[in-house]
């Protein structure tokens, strides 16, 4: 049986590395081409030496994409760069999964307001489907272009979507408090992710203005039909990977612990990668996997619904979710190639 042919555009970062780590064991696809203009002419193992004797493909220029009869292309490119590729290739024979934020939002105007960049391809917003399978599975199956969600939004949206969809909470009082490992900032050195700054430290950043705020807000609104307002604050942990998000919301009607659990079970009990857990989850429970562990409770004293969700920001928050979307787009079993056991300790 022939395998689907995939290409990865942008191989030097953590996301490109994770895509390869997952796809080399996928039974239904083969990596036909992998690009990195900045390292063209070198080999993948020159950039990611952990793949020595495992995956040793050459790194080629982006122009090589057209020389392969590809079924799907992953874009592991920076924000503001992916849109150029989509503009040039959207009408070609392959499907595209974009892991940047270039097509996650509702319009070029919203993008430019939050990303502080000009958007060069407004037509792409007409084609793009937001790639969170738990909410938009049927649309993803039919999509030509999927905008893979951000890592923080994945953790927050899964926690808030059932509450908003059921009309149980005050849509103007939604608080998301998130912590992330430093790989979320990419593999290029930055002052705020320098080891002496991050080690033995804990900081908030992007207060009131982080670009994932609007992504969370727009997606839960599109899914639930609400007109919500989200307050989102991210924090940087001195760990390499993982996200833990805690959300706080106020009920608009009488609720109970039993009712909240029943609703989340109805929404997620049959989802292959969402696990409803009875104890507070930790990062290492999902490390290296496409799992999202979700804990929900109701605090009667303060009349507050609290959720705690954990994901691996590089897998369910990026590469793993992209493969999950690929499976849907190609008509494969959704969990194919993603049966990965968490790495703990």
| Active-site residue list | 151
Dist CA 27 CA 7 (whole Å): 16
Q: Mark residue 192 as left, alpha or beta (left: phi above 0; alpha: psi -120 to 50; beta: remaining).
A: alpha
Cβ within 8 Å of residue 245, ≥6 positions away: 152, 155, 156, 159, 176, 177, 178, 179, 307, 308, 309, 310
Do 159 and 178 meet the contact criterion of CB atoms below 8 Å apart?
no
Closest CA to 298 of 273, 264, 274, 269: 264
Dist CA 150 CA 209 (whole Å): 15
* φ, ψ for residue 100, nearest 5 deg: -85, 180
Q: Where are the beta strands (DSSP E) in 122-218?
A: 128-130, 145-147, 169-180, 203-204
Triad 187, 189, 194: Cα angle to 5°: 115
């Amino acid at each position: 049986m022939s395998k689907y042919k995939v290409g990865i555009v942008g191989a030097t970062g953590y996301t490109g590395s994770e895509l390869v780590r997952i796809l080399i064991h996928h039974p239904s696809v083969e990596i036909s081409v992998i690009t990195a203009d900045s390292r063209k002419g070198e080999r993948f193992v020159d950039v990611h030496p952990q793949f020595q004797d495992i995956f040793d493909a050459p790194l080629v220029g982006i122009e090589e994409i057209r020389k392969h009869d590809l079924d799907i292309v992953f874009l592991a490119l920076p924000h503001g760069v992916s849109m150029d590729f989509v503009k040039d290739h959207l009408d070609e024979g392959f499907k595209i999964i974009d892991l940047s934020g270039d097509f996650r939002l509702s319009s070029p105007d919203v993008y430019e307001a939050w990303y502080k960049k000009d958007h060069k391809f407004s037509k792409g917003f007409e084609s793009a489907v937001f790639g969170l399978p738990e909410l938009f599975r049927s649309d993803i199956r039919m999509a030509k272009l999927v905008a893979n969600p951000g890592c923080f939004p994945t953790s927050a949206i899964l926690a808030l979507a059932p509450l908003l969809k059921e009309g149980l909470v005050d849509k103007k009082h939604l608080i998301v408090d998130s912590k992330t490992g430093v790989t979320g900032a990419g593999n290029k050195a930055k002052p705020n992710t320098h080891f002496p700054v991050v080690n033995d430290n804990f900081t908030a950043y992007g207060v009131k203005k982080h670009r994932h705020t609007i992504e969370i807000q727009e997606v839960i609104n599109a899914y639930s039909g609400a007109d919500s307002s989200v307050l989102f604050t991210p924090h940087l942990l001195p760990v390499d990977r993982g996200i833990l998000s805690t959300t706080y919301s106020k009920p608009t009607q009488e609720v109970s612990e039993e009712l909240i659990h029943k609703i989340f079970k109805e929404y997620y009990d049959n989802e292959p990668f969402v696990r409803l857990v009875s104890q507070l989850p930790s990062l290492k429970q999902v490390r290296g996997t496409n799992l999202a562990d979700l804990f929900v409770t109701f605090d009667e004293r303060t009349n507050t619904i609290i959720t705690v969700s954990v994901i691996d920001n590089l897998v369910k928050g990026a590469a793993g979710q992209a493969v999950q979307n690929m499976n849907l787009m190609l008509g494969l079993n959704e969990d194919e190639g993603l049966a990965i056991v968490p790495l703990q300790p």
